[in-house]
Structure 1
Amino acid sequence: MLNLQRVAMFVAVVEAGSFTAAAATLRQTKAAISFNIGRLEADLGVALLLRTTRRLALTQSGEAFYTRALRLLAESDALEQEVRQNHLSLSGELTVTSTAEYGARKVIPALAAFAQQHPQLQVRHVSSSAHADLISERFDVAIRLGKLADSSYRAAAIERFTILPVASPGWLAAHPVTTLAGLAEADWILHQRLASPRRWSLTGPEGAVEMEISGPARFSSDSASALLAFAAAGCGVALLPEWLVRQPLVEGRLQRLLPQYRFPEQGVYALWPDSRHLPARVRAFIDFLRAWVTEGGVSAEIN
């Protein structure tokens, strides 16, 4: 395989007319230039230059190689510029994965607004609660909710949100909950993707307290939308993001339990593969999404 650095040295020698002049142009020693040209000729198996004490001339093979070398170096330059431009400019494909619920309310509206500002950008969004392998599945960034687990990915905080225990009015009428002990013993609808869905640290009138759900859990799901639907159908208590249950609470389809107690806030994070060079479109979108949710984007329903 050709060493492009040696090819560039060969071209510099031809254009400068001597090893000494080429060495000055390239800011290298004459010995280094001579050594690399010699290695290039050895790799090709032909002599490219005729060297005398008074002048330097191209062999017939050298003339043909020089012409092709100019095109090769120009193409190499163009390729380098194209790759850098794609990395630095907001073009190409931006691939994002998020949960369906947060995606519909925040990520997709933000992606739509972001793409309108950058018409050369192509957007691919995948709704999933699974923790994708960003590299093998070719995702630029994943938006994940909850407690950030240790991983090899880089991460940036996007926002924080509160979670609320909710149930339907019908279920509460049949199973009134007035104390923390009663909440722990209630019929719970558990989120399967939580590491410890039954153990919680709460803040209440008496300060920090621990609660362990001891009641039955006939229903569970890995989807917040499913938990919401179970709760609205009167299946028990579900712990859900405030932004997801805001409208059902306003409409009276759900009710909040024990508002004097607060569950720990949860985070929203952007995760991306640990790489030395983060494409500009990825960094720009992460910054855009953070500003979008903080300022309450035009199409956003929350915050």
Structure 2
Amino acid sequence: MVSLDRFELFCAVVQAGSFTGAAERLQQTRAAVSFSIKQLEAELGVTLLTRTTRRIALTDAGERFYQRCLQVVEDARVAIDEARAEHAGLQGSLRITSTVEYGLKVLAPALQAFCRLHPDLSVRLETHTSQVDLVRERFDVAIRLGQAQDSSYRGVCLATYDVRLVLAPSLLAAHGPQIIDSPSHLAAVAQLVHSRFEQNSRWELQGDAGRSAVFETHGTPLLVTDNASILRAFAVQGAGVALLPEWLVADDLASGQLLDALPAYRFARQSVYALYPASRHVPRKVRAWIDFIKAYLAETGAGT
């Protein structure tokens, strides 16, 4: 009978797109992975993969077998999860991905508390500036900011947060007090832009007493980066104005190191989402983490 381990290994090879990628993910040698696939093909009596020097591809039989493998592996994980549910604590591993800033500012202290509750669960947090493929990279949960866009995943809104257009006192002194609370004046100041917002140069604003305005920039930004901490550092030095999450600059605003450039206006609130691969069964460890972080954010107000 074919080993379930080979089912999982075959899925890993297909998802990684190479023997090398699967070997790194599974912490095995490339030779061991290649040998296991050859053994699987020999046991089945069919060719599952075609190999070239650069890539692998599924044969027709391999494609059908892969879809069946996914179902078998998921059913096995459901059975294991249900068996472990008899115990009080969570076991196994939980792989989470998020941004560097949110991971450091919010998730790190939350995970410390979560790990104390579940000492037998091994947690791995990886930070990425780009949005990784959860299935291919084998992540259980992604904590993402802004708006959920990938409909292939399931999602839970954990919290919402404000974003602020901020600038340093030195920049205010250089341009004069008239730029504060003036969307049109601020649009002419040097802009520091997150790459996620690079194509969005027009923002609807809501002000006091129901008044509205538009913040719309023109021309080339002074800086575009995929890291909010870099934007914050440039803003603190007076290089330009930056639109940043309030949870990241709250201390700077409180100390006066940064100023809210539009104190009488508000940008649309952004969301914190937990995304996880769509399947018939949501692992208990994933449900436990999502329930915990949602309650943590509501209780502490961190990251909101």
- The reply to whether residue 85 of structure 1 matches residue 83 of structure 2 is yes
SS of the residue 1:197 aligns to: coil
Identity %: 44
Equivalenced residue count is 225
Question: Given residue 183 of structure 1, which amino acid in structure 2 is its aligned partner?
Answer: L
Q: What is residue 251 of structure 2 aligned with on the other side?
A: 247
CA distance, structure 1, for counterparts of residue 184 and residue 290 of structure 2: 41
CA distance, structure 2, for counterparts of residue 203 and residue 277 of structure 1: 41
Q: What is residue 193 of structure 1 aligned with on the other side?
A: 196
CA distance, structure 2, for counterparts of residue 218 and residue 296 of structure 1: 36
CA distance, structure 2, for counterparts of residue 173 and residue 254 of structure 1: 13
- The reply to whether residue 149 of structure 1 matches residue 153 of structure 2 is no
- Per-residue deviation at 1:249? 1.4
Q: What is residue 291 of structure 1 aligned with on the other side?
A: 295
Q: What is residue 257 of structure 1 aligned with on the other side?
A: 261
Structure 1 gap segments, 5+ residues each: 3-77
Question: Given residue 121 of structure 2, which amino acid in structure 1 is its aligned partner?
Answer: L
- Per-residue deviation at 1:276? 0.7
Give the TM-score normalised by the residue count of structure 2: 0.69
CA distance, structure 2, for counterparts of residue 225 and residue 279 of structure 1: 33
* Post-superposition CA distance 1:218-256 (Å, at most 9, x none): 111111101101101111000001111111112221111
Compute the RMSD of aligned alpha carbons.
2.3
CA distance, structure 2, for counterparts of residue 116 and residue 80 of structure 1: 25
- The reply to whether residue 217 of structure 1 matches residue 221 of structure 2 is yes
Question: Given residue 165 of structure 1, which amino acid in structure 2 is its aligned partner?
Answer: L
- Per-residue deviation at 1:132? 0.7
Whether the 8 Å CA contact 2:92–2:120 is kept in 1: the answer is yes
Question: Given residue 252 of structure 2, which amino acid in structure 1 is its aligned partner?
Answer: P
Candidates 267, 272, 275, aligned match of 1:271: 275
SS of the residue 1:193 aligns to: helix
Whether the 8 Å CA contact 2:196–2:226 is kept in 1: the answer is yes
- Per-residue deviation at 1:286? 0.3
- The reply to whether residue 163 of structure 1 matches residue 124 of structure 2 is no
* Post-superposition CA distance 1:15-69 (Å, at most 9, x none): xxxxxxxxxxxxxxxxxxxxxxxxxxxxxxxxxxxxxxxxxxxxxxxxxxxxxxx
- Per-residue deviation at 1:83? 5.3
Q: What is residue 184 of structure 1 aligned with on the other side?
A: 187
- Per-residue deviation at 1:169? 0.8
Q: What is residue 69 of structure 2 aligned with on the other side?
A: none
C-alpha change, 1:80 and 1:107, in structure 2 (3 Å) is closer
Q: What is residue 47 of structure 1 aligned with on the other side?
A: none
SS of the residue 2:96 aligns to: strand
CA distance, structure 1, for counterparts of residue 147 and residue 189 of structure 2: 25
CA distance, structure 1, for counterparts of residue 234 and residue 203 of structure 2: 21
SS of the residue 1:143 aligns to: strand
Query: Which has more radius of gyration?
Result: 1
C-alpha change, 1:247 and 1:171, in structure 2 (3 Å) is same
Q: What is residue 205 of structure 2 aligned with on the other side?
A: 202
C-alpha change, 1:81 and 1:139, in structure 2 (3 Å) is closer
CA distance, structure 1, for counterparts of residue 170 and residue 242 of structure 2: 14
- The reply to whether residue 119 of structure 1 matches residue 104 of structure 2 is no
C-alpha change, 1:242 and 1:133, in structure 2 (3 Å) is same
CA distance, structure 2, for counterparts of residue 276 and residue 79 of structure 1: 11
- Per-residue deviation at 1:111? 1.4
Question: Given residue 281 of structure 2, which amino acid in structure 1 is its aligned partner?
Answer: H
Whether the 8 Å CA contact 1:188–1:215 is kept in 2: the answer is no
CA distance, structure 2, for counterparts of residue 186 and residue 274 of structure 1: 44
C-alpha change, 1:290 and 1:186, in structure 2 (3 Å) is same
Give the TM-score normalised by the residue count of structure 1: 0.69
Report 1:31-180 matches (<5 A). Answer: 82=80, 84-86=82-84, 90-176=90-176, 177-178=179-180, 179-180=182-183
CA distance, structure 1, for counterparts of residue 233 and residue 77 of structure 2: 52
Question: Given residue 235 of structure 2, which amino acid in structure 1 is its aligned partner?
Answer: A
Structure 2 gap segments, 5+ residues each: 3-75
C-alpha change, 1:80 and 1:113, in structure 2 (3 Å) is closer
SS of the residue 2:229 aligns to: helix
Question: Given residue 85 of structure 1, which amino acid in structure 2 is its aligned partner?
Answer: A
